Amino acid sequence: MTGNITQCHDKIKHEADINGNIKIFTEVEIERITRNFSTLIGKGGFGEVYMGILDDDNGPVAVKKYINEDLREVFMEEVRIHSKISHKNVVKLIGYCIGERTLMIVMEYMSKGNLNDILHYSEMSIPLDGCLAPRSDVYSFGLVLCELIARERVRKGDINLIGYVNKGCAIGKGFREIFDAAIANENNMKILKEMKKLAIECLSLISYRRPQMTDVVKRLRILRKELKDRHENYSESILASHHSWRRNNRQEIIMPTYNSKMQIKKSLVFLKRNLSNSKIQSEPSNLRILTQEELKEVTHNYSYLLSGGTSGRVYKGTLEDNTVVAVRIFSQVLEGFEDAFINVGMILSQIFHRNIIKLLGYCPDADCPAFMYEFAAKGSLSDVLDGHEDFPLDLRAKIAVKIAEALEYLHSSATGIIRHGYVVPSKILLDDNFTPKLTGFSWARKFIKESNIIVSDDAITSHQLPSSGFYNDPVHDHCVSLKVKTDVYQFGVLLLTLISRKNFVFYADHDDLISQFRTACLADGSGRAFFDDDIAAHGGDIILLEKMGMLSLKCICEEIDQRPTMKEVAEHLRIITRSWKKCSSERATLVSKTVTRSHITEAEGTKLDSPLSSDIRD
């Protein structure tokens, strides 16, 4: 027996070496990974399961520890078989450990627990079964089907669900009473009956009469497709009765007005239908529709978290052609997230601008609503402001101009005026070339023209605004001009952020800082005390900083009508930036000529009379 085990172990080690992904752990490594077996997450007849953390930042793992040393042969067989399996619906084997008195398997960690938790809300119970014959697997799967349709344990006290099902089948009794009441409606009854019929076939006491798992899978796929098609058709009919549609003079659907709080799935049907029909300005629609499974593949099972908050999480992902993307999963906890999801999709699908983040695809699955965007490798402007890297003035000016142009585009869009509403450093992303990309459209609103009067297609209430990281316009009014000019106000604060490197959204009272800057500017016409010392060294640069500061004062003016439009802001920034670059170039040329003539003078031993002054006179 010992010889067979040793031979099997050698074979497993050989296969592990070939595979390259199966690691052999020592007992010391396992103790460190599990923190000396401190977190027990499951128990069974074969052993115990502990949570652990790998040293290579691969995230949490589950360590299954056998409690019976006599099970070495069973253990070897499990490892041998598991090491050869690679399937997205089979728990991944990471490695194993064979000690003198211990047998352990390291697997990927399932953060949501198991099906038992969902069905019965019980303590976690990770299956620790041995090896069964193929037909035994079919029987076991029949038990799972019974629990799924009934949401009851197969055996609970004196009640035997299987016996109850078989008895009812024998006497020809209806089975509506065994189905979970939460799903037992007329629309689902046919599907439930077919699942029950399949479960009974799997539970046949005569093993050869049980269907093959390939047949089981085929029948379930057919049922799933029928259910999916039926629910989508049903949701579309519900939408038609619950939404009142608003159209512009081109008869294009803008957004639905909700008469009641709709379920997310109904909202997603609306979004899916309208995204497929949307007309994107300046570029054809190539939006990709992703499934939950595809999202997991793209994000490598959500392994690289870029950022997270109350509105959702953003993960880094890679497409088949190695294109790097960012995937935002919307949080279903946040109130009104359905509206935010639809809002982002509808707006981004209709606009295209080099300085607005590009929407590449979306997942309309109700359980995992998500958007896929182009990836910004340099992070956000907020990261740069709070970091210690050089932040030259030319880059700051570039960001100011490009974001102003993006807002100018939104405010003059041919499809209607779009108010962004959340122009802050964290919503400005930077690509490899530090080209800024405006994102954060959850609070954006679209306006349309009716009889030359601008009206909103949707209202936004105060509780829907972000609770933090937000430049609050001090003027409280409900007119449309305020809603559009709020972007101008926020851009003015952004200008102050760029010239001072003070991230205003993180100050306890950024309104007070703005007031101080306004007072300083009015006092000396400059506001130099607020400028970032790292870029306020040259006279020519000071002029640009002063002009940007004065422009910011106009943008944050409390008199709404006195604020410039974003078109005027963008044009003014282009003019003062071009002028600054021209002066900087001329200054650099003068310095270069001065240095060159100085070298010539030294070489010839000739003393020239003030070459710099001469150049200026020329």
Q: Which residue has the higher pLDDT, 464 or 147?
A: 147
What six digits make up the tokens of 335? 């109130």
* Average pLDDT over every residue of 451-458: 44
- Which of 301, 299, 330 is CA-nearest to residue 315? 299
pLDDT band at 460; cut points 50, 70, 90: very low
Report which DSSP code applies to 433: T
Helix%, strand%, coil% for the chain, nearest 5: 50, 15, 35
**Range of weakest confidence among 40-49, 90-99, 169-178, 293-302:** 169-178
Q: In Å, how far are 330, 380, 430, 440 from 424, measured between CA atoms? A: 20, 10, 13, 9
- Look at residue 610 and tell me whether its pLDDT is greater than 70: no
pLDDT band at 428; cut points 50, 70, 90: very high
Q: Contact, 393 vs 536, CB < 8 A? A: no
- Which of 373, 317, 305 is CA-nearest to residue 111? 305
**Range of weakest confidence among 55-64, 185-194, 561-570:** 55-64
Q: Contact, 496 vs 549, CB < 8 A? A: yes
In sequence order, which residues have a C-beta less than 8 Å from that of residue 413 and are 6 or more positions away? 281, 350, 351
Tens digit of each residue's pLDDT (9 = 90 or more) over 190-235 = 888 888 888 888 877 777 788 888 888 888 888 887 776 665 554 4
Rounded Cα distance between 563 and 482, Å, is 10
Q: CA 508, 513, 515: angle at the middle one, nearest 5?
A: 130
Rounded Cα distance between 23 and 21, Å, is 6
Looking from the CA of 10 toward its CB, the CA atoms found within 13 Å total 6
Tens digit of each residue's pLDDT (9 = 90 or more) over 232-291 = 554 444 333 333 333 333 333 333 333 333 444 545 555 555 555 544 333 435 688 888
Q: Which residue has the higher pLDDT, 608 or 525?
A: 525
Q: For the chain, how far is it from start to end, CA to CA, in angstroms?
A: 100
pLDDT for 356: 95
Q: Which residue has the higher pLDDT, 472 or 185?
A: 185
pLDDT band at 575; cut points 50, 70, 90: very high
Rounded Cα distance between 426 and 408, Å, is 20
- Look at residue 529 and tell me whether its pLDDT is greater than 80: no
Rounded Cα distance between 197 and 120, Å, is 23
Q: Which amino acid is at 133?
A: A
Scanning the structure block, which residue is given the tokens 């002028």?
579
- Which of 184, 205, 203 is CA-nearest to residue 193? 184
- 251: how many CB neighbours lie within 10 A of its CB? 6
* Average pLDDT over every residue of 361-370: 80
Q: Which residue has the higher pLDDT, 186 or 241?
A: 186
pLDDT for 503: 78
Rounded Cα distance between 312 and 512, Å, is 31
Q: Which amino acid is at 456?
A: S
For 289, phi then psi, to 5°, come to: -95, 120
CB-count burial class (<10 Å; 0-12, 13-18, 19+) for 489:
buried
Q: What percentage of the chain carries pLDDT values higher than 70?
A: 61
Domains of the chain: 2-120 (3.30.200.20), 134-211 (1.10.510.10), 253-374 (3.30.200.20), 381-582 (1.10.510.10)
Tens digit of each residue's pLDDT (9 = 90 or more) over 312-350 = 889 999 998 889 999 998 876 455 566 677 778 878 887
Q: Which of 138-142, 166-170, 203-207 has the highest mean pLDDT?
A: 138-142
Rounded Cα distance between 519 and 148, Å, is 68
Q: What is the mean pLDDT of the chain?
A: 72
Q: Contact, 288 vs 372, CB < 8 A? A: yes
In sequence order, which residues have a C-beta less than 8 Å from that of residue 164 and are 6 or more positions away? 178
- 241: how many CB neighbours lie within 10 A of its CB? 7
Rounded Cα distance between 117 and 171, Å, is 33
For 186, phi then psi, to 5°, come to: -60, -35
Q: What percentage of the chain carries pLDDT values higher than 90?
A: 19
